[in-house]
Chain A
Amino acid sequence: MTDVIVVGAGPAGAAAALMAARDGLEVVLLERGPFPGSKNAYGGVVYGRVLDDVLPRWWEEVPVQRWVTRRSTMVLTDTQALTVDFRTTAWGEAPYNGCTTFRADFDGWLAGKAVEAGAHLVVNTVATGLIVEGNRVVGVRTDRQDGDLRAPLVIAADGVNSFLAKEAGLLPRTQAKHLTLGVKEVLSLPREVIDERFGVRGDEGVDVELLGCTRGIPGGGFVYTNRDSLSVGVVVSLEHLAASKVRPEELIADLKAHPAIAPWVEGAELKEYTAHLIPEGGYDHLTPLSTAGMLVTGDAAGLCLAAGLWLEGVNFAIGSGLAAGRTARRIIETGDAKPYRAALKDSFVLKDHKRLRGAPRLVLSERVQQRYPGLVADLVEGLFTVGNPTAKPGALRLLRGAAKNNGVKLRHLVADGLAGGRVFK
């Protein structure tokens, strides 16, 4: 007898299966791809601390590319770049902060933990629909012969397009407004070349977030270092991308041709091109987290945290999956999903989302996306350009000029500054 069917062996599903199996439940973990991670693409960096009390010393075995010890935020215009750059040796030693890793490796590793705990991983199998009796989900249909599977609890961990949540009426069929599209190129470069270009050594790595590089389409870009490759990509509002008629790969080409980025990727060869959607609606557009007989986790529930400087989906997926797996037994016994919702509320998953609920709107706003990159770049260029024999202009005059050139009123700047202070407090 199966107690729990988990659909999707991404981070959310693997974490849920791991905890439910540890609790002694019979767990089936379904994955439509030939192996976990085969359908999944992200930036990316995994922030692993969420695993501290589940897999002690996880960092000794996680399939890491590089440990991120340096993090930069870069604001770009066509001709300018302003970077805030931070590095710390603390992130290069246990318990670490984040690592670059590929999903085929990472998702496989985490699903392996669930299997070790006793979950049954079934790959090459699509959950094609829900089995509903009365108003209760009692199982899933699959594309296997005689493929109906029944269980007192289904955990939907089927990602951003979650057709299970859609079928249950929890998620609208389309919602381009709250989605972004991410496209990524993995570019090979010799390890030493990466070390040299990015100023790192050994297994140290760099995470660069980019703003202002997407032709005014709300979004941003990224460059991450892997062992012997770079991950370079953009994440853009689906609605605005479609309206702009710009092709997504052109945005990556732009990025790679930018004077600040081109020297990093020179001579690099394309190893793989990938694309995936991201739910970016944040707290105000979460999917209802449960319906009778079913819990919704990870991206399926819209739990990816996309708030400007943060793009954390894997750790949030794991956090919600752990909560679902831990509460599964009680939910099966009582038939009430309240313990799952309560566990999420008590964890970083909903706390961080609630705190940053205003971020998606602010970060994707027209001024932050299209005007402020130019404004700050012009301001800094003004400060550091030595225009002798002309005397240096005052900072306030420079700010006024930069604001005017970029079509920003000072009162907007003050208002957005205050809004930013409230959103990120």
Chain B
Amino acid sequence: MSGYDDIAFDDRMQTVEFRVAERAHIVVDSDVCRSCTTKACVSACPANLFAPTSDGGILFNYEQCFECGTCYQVCNAEGALTWTYPDGGHGVVFRHG
């Protein structure tokens, strides 16, 4: 079967409402990621928020996050992720969940 996605990822994420908070609710310690061998977060995050950098680390932006928990559940290294919920009322708002 095909491996393509039928809609550009940005367009996909445009369908979701986010009330972005000032505080980042997830923080990635790229130094820890550099020694990570799986980089499991990169493919598994349904919002595609983990971008590998050329120096072996991770660039992360919290703004369009589903708050699903996938990343910390599959994360390969202790201490790489600080994961909390966004402050009350902020973050993702599903209408057709």
Contact = CB atoms under 8 A, between A and B. Distances in A.
Are A and B genuine complex partners? Answer: yes
Nearest to B97: A41
Contacts of A256: 6
B96 to A, nearest CB: 4
A160 interface: yes
Interface string B44-83: 1011100000000000000000111110111100000000
Interface string A174-186: 1110010101101
Contacts of B92: 38-39
B69 A160 contact: yes
B35 interface: no
B36 interface: no
Greatest chain A CB density within 10 A among B11, B13, B44, B95 is at B44
Contacts of B27: none
A341 B97 CA distance: 30
Interface residues of A, number: 62
A230 B86 CA distance: 30
A275 interface: yes
A94 B84 CA distance: 43
A40 B43 contact: no
A344 B48 CA distance: 39
A32 B1 contact: no
Interface string B7-31: 1010111011001000000000000
B44 A242 contact: yes
Contact of A78 (B1, B4, B9, B91): B1
B93 A275 contact: no
Chief secondary structure at chain B's binding surface: loop
A218 interface: no
A250 B1 CA distance: 10
A34 B96 CA distance: 15
Contacts of A273: 12-13, 15-16
B88 A144 contact: yes
A253 interface: yes
Contacts of B85: 32, 126, 163
Interface string A236-256: 001101111111111001101
Contact of A104 (B7, B19, B40, B94): B94
A103 B97 contact: yes
Contact of A247 (B43, B84, B95): B43
A253 B2 CA distance: 8
A32 B87 CA distance: 8
Contacts of B74: 176, 238-239, 242
Contact of A272 (B16, B19, B38, B68): B16
B95 A272 contact: yes
Given A33-B89, A249-B5, A238 B70 contact: yes
Greatest chain A CB density within 10 A among B16, B72, B73, B84 is at B73
A276 B72 contact: no
B3 A250 contact: yes
Given A32-B88, A272-B16, A39 B67 contact: yes
Task: List the 6 closest A-B pairs by CB distance, nearest first.
Answer: A41-B97, A124-B89, A275-B46, A242-B40, A242-B74, A124-B88
11 contacts: A32-B88, A41-B66, A41-B94, A126-B88, A181-B68, A226-B96, A238-B74, A247-B48, A248-B46, A250-B4, A275-B47
Interface of A: 32-34, 37-42, 78, 102-104, 123-126, 128, 142-144, 160-161, 163, 173-176, 179, 181, 183-184, 186, 215, 226, 229, 231, 238-239, 241-250, 253-254, 256-258, 270-277
Given A250-B4, A257-B1, 18 more contacts: A33-B93, A39-B91, A39-B93, A39-B97, A104-B94, A104-B97, A123-B88, A173-B72, A175-B73, A181-B44, A186-B96, A241-B44, A250-B3, A254-B3, A272-B94, A272-B96, A273-B15, A276-B68
